[in-house]
Amino acid sequence: MARKLPHKDVAIIGLGWTGSILANELTDAGLDVVAIERGPWRDTATDFAISYAQDELRYRIRHELFLRNSQMSVTFRNNAGQTALPVRTWGAFMLGNGVGGAGVHWNAETWRFLPTDFTLKSHLTQRYGANFLPADMTIQDWGITWNEIEPYYDEFEYLCGTSGQAGNLSGELQSGGNPFEGPRSRPYPTPPQKQGYGHTLFAQGAAKLGYKPFPQPSGNLSRAYTNPLGVTLAPCTYCGFCEWFGCANNSKATPQTTVLPALLRKTNFEARTECEVTRINLDNTGKRATGVTFVDSSGEEYEQPADIVLLCAFSLFNVQLLLLSGIGAAYDPATGQGQIGRNFTHQTMSSALGFFDKDKYNFNPFVASGAIGMIIDEFNGDNFDHGPVGFVGGGYIGQVQTNGRPIESTAVPPGTPAWGSKWKAAIKDNYLSTINSGGACHGSMYSYRDNYLSLDPTYKDRFGRPLVRITIDFHDNEIKMSNFLTDKYAEILQAMGAKQIVKKPRKAPYDVTQYQTSHLNGGAIMGDNPGNSAVNRYLQSWDVANLFVVGASAFPQNAGYNPTGTVGALAFWAADAIRSQYLKNPGPLVHA
């Protein structure tokens, strides 16, 4: 029998970026908030101490800061004709765990989507005609516009202290910034990070070819910054152990360095760690959440009653909990019915290796941050005419090499033996003079009828509940796009003076063993009516009015950018809707 806990105004599932932002906003509004986090408490001084944070084996190869598959995993198949099998250890994506969530180990590339990304279906149909889109592509408009979300992008960037160069201030293009970005109301809170030799050479090569390079917006700060909550971050020291790692320097924007010190002081906030929410409880109408049930690390079960439930777990697990709790209808690709699980997307990543003359070039790859880099955005979104190329979508292209960590930095020219003295000589000769930017072509992935999430019929978690099952493959559209972006990147490497270039475009089928960012999205998408989405424009569940489902699970499709900026903006946007509308008048905020 579950032990019933005292009532709270708000129960938040997960204490990562969205959980932290919403907890802070709602405690400010005077509500009593509890956040329930499956993983442990994490802190800079204990978990990413400066004396042992730079440990590639422990954190990058053995993934010690990540969710252990033994605690929770997923199953995967390329299509419904296959049997999904467990992801026994992470590969294509690595999932966070603990307080701070993926916000602890991200590389802090902090982007906004394009204005047209939010009205993608209407825009592409208008420009190219409905027949230009593949018949099984299921992209949608988000139900919000750039003008509506822009102030919330601003709010997230000022929370983080994001370092960047504005490209468009209220419609006026600014030199040195991204000429394609949507108009922003004010500059970034801190100036861009400094760039290394390889990144600078890329910008020179790109400019030679007529592009407009600009520095990547970075949550690894260029200088010390105190945010509106009074929390201070330090300047980044270009240590080269950013993504996969916690920052020992307090210079990476994370919930730990931006929100938690302020949040934890509040008497109306409580966090329960190493407690896993197993179910969102509903009343007998099925339309109202009464709270959540969770299990602590000793196996004891609790019921936490609450008036508002915020589902703030990682995107995949938001969808899993909706399905396990019987909220909404599960998506069936055969009929197209059901919203929960639909429009699952990842990212379409590609790169190329650039080998340079070792006697002329020394890139010092280990001097870098997670979000360092020079970028061109000419081939993102609908920033160029797709008519002649026969695909839609795109991505930023950049020299975004984040590190020279040795185990990961053994790229050698094709034909080099995999072992022996020749291998040793090749890694020595190429280590300092190779451009090896894994995230160079950051391509979009649009949504399709047959890429979706569901519950696995066979494999269970440690509580006996079904794992979430991923069914995903690449479609021709994304493969064409990847080839295109990779070719453009290779041209820039050529202009930089590379002596040998090895192109690595993305190839089908989707492989769950090859890392492609952890940008998993969709499955509980936002939209303008319950017939096409799981949540409304405020991320409120259409089915359960006192439940909000916040995160990248809301993206109807993925864009050619890292998602966290948009995830942060949506969290602030939802918080504002709850504070200014829902609390005054609880109930559905949108009547469709």
Partner 1 sequence: MYQLTRRGLLGSSALWLLLSSSAARAAVIRGGIPWKPGAGDPPEPVTPGGWKYFTPQEAKTVEAFVDRLIPADDLSPGGRECGCAVFIDRQLAGPYGDFGGYYLAGPFVKGTKQQGPQSPVTPAQHYRKALAALDGACRSKYGGKAFAELTDAQKDEVITGLENGSLKLDGADGQEFFKLILKNTQNGYLADPIYGGNKDMASWKMIGFPGAHYDYREWIDKHNQRVTMPAVGIANHPNWSQKS
Annotated catalytic residues are 519
Nearer to partner 1, 430 or 483 (CB): 430
Q: Give 134-162 as a 3 state SS string.
A: CCCECCCCCCCCHHHHHHHHHHHHHHHCC
Nearer to partner 1, 123 or 358 (CB): 358
Spell out the residues 6+ positions from residue 171 whose beta carbon is closer than 8 angstroms to its own: 183
Binding flags for partner 1, 104-143, as an x/- string (CB under 8 A): ----------------------------------------
Query: Which of 185, 226, 297, 337 contacts partner 1 by CB under 8 A?
Result: 297
Query: Which residue in 522, 536, 547 sits closest to 327, CA to CA?
Result: 547
Q: Please state the φ and ψ torsions of residue 7, each to the nearest 5 degrees.
A: -60, 145
Query: Does residue 147 interact with partner 1 by CB under 8 A?
Result: no
User: Considering only 83-91, 115-123, 384-392, 563-571, which stretch makes contact with partner 1 by CB under 8 A?
Assistant: 83-91
**Nearest distance, CB of residue 471 and partner 1, angstroms:** 12
Q: Please state the φ and ψ torsions of residue 352, each to the nearest 5 degrees.
A: -150, 145
**Nearest distance, CB of residue 16 and partner 1, angstroms:** 15
Query: Does residue 516 interact with partner 1 by CB under 8 A?
Result: no
Query: Does residue 591 interact with partner 1 by CB under 8 A?
Result: no
Query: Does residue 28 interact with partner 1 by CB under 8 A?
Result: no
Q: Report which secondary-structure segment, H or E, holds 310.
A: strand 301-311
Query: Which of 58, 288, 503, 504 contacts partner 1 by CB under 8 A?
Result: 58
Residues 440-499 that bind partner 1 (CB under 8 A): 458-466
Spell out the residues 6+ positions from residue 85 whose beta carbon is closer than 8 angstroms to its own: 75, 76, 77, 459
Nearer to partner 1, 62 or 186 (CB): 62
Q: Report which secondary-structure segment, H or E, holds 422.
A: helix 421-430
Spell out the residues 6+ positions from residue 550 whose beta carbon is closer than 8 angstroms to its own: 18, 22, 310, 311, 312, 318, 539, 570, 571, 574
For strands 269-272 and 33-36, give the pairing. Answer: parallel
Query: Which of 420, 457, 531, 587 contacts partner 1 by CB under 8 A?
Result: 420
Nearer to partner 1, 175 or 421 (CB): 421
Nearer to partner 1, 183 or 466 (CB): 466
Query: Does residue 515 interact with partner 1 by CB under 8 A?
Result: no
Query: Does residue 187 interact with partner 1 by CB under 8 A?
Result: no
Between CA 115 and CA 144 the distance in angstroms is 10
Handedness of CA 548, 124, 110, 314 (dihedral sign): positive
Q: Is the bond preceding 509 in cis, omega lying within 30 degrees of 0?
A: yes
Query: Does residue 228 interact with partner 1 by CB under 8 A?
Result: no
Query: Which residue in 113, 75, 142 sits closest to 447, CA to CA?
Result: 142
Between CA 555 and CA 451 the distance in angstroms is 14
Radius of gyration of the chain (CA): 23
Between CA 69 and CA 66 the distance in angstroms is 9
User: Considering only 105-113, 196-204, 384-392, 487-495, which stretch makes contact with partner 1 by CB under 8 A?
Assistant: 196-204
Query: Which of 151, 179, 183, 235 contacts partner 1 by CB under 8 A?
Result: 235
Query: Which of 392, 496, 512, 575 contacts partner 1 by CB under 8 A?
Result: 512
Nearer to partner 1, 70 or 226 (CB): 70
User: Considering only 424-432, 486-494, 529-537, 540-548, which stretch makes contact with partner 1 by CB under 8 A?
Assistant: 424-432
Between CA 571 and CA 440 the distance in angstroms is 28
Size of the site for partner 1 (CB under 8 A): 106
Query: Which of 9, 43, 303, 487 contacts partner 1 by CB under 8 A?
Result: 43
Nearer to partner 1, 196 or 588 (CB): 196
**Nearest distance, CB of residue 51 and partner 1, angstroms:** 4
**Nearest distance, CB of residue 193 and partner 1, angstroms:** 8
Query: Does residue 285 interact with partner 1 by CB under 8 A?
Result: no
Query: Does residue 9 interact with partner 1 by CB under 8 A?
Result: no
